Amino acid sequence: MSEFDQELDVRGLNCPLPIIKARKVLNGLETGQILRVVATDPGSVKDFEAFAKQTGNELLESTEGNGEFAFRLKKG
C-alpha cells in the first residue's frame, strides 16, 4: 500500500496555481484519501498550511529537499 492515493506534480508553477490544482484534485477524492503534492515554489509551504486550515483538509506531512517541497494532504 502506498502512502498516498494520488500524486500531483506542480513543479515549476508558482502561487496560486499549486493550490488551485490541489483543490481540484482533492475535490475528486473520497474523504480520508491522501493527495501527495510535489512543488518547487518556496511559498507553497505557507500556502498549503493555510489551505489545509481553511478547507478542513489535514496536512499530514510537509518535507523539503533538493529544492523541492512535498506535501501529503488528507481529504477532510
Return the active site residues: 15
Omega before 16 cis (within 30°)?
yes
- Specify whether the CB–CB gap between 30 and 62 falls below 8 A: no
Q: How far apart, in whole angstroms, are the C-alpha atoms of residue 70 and residue 18?
A: 12
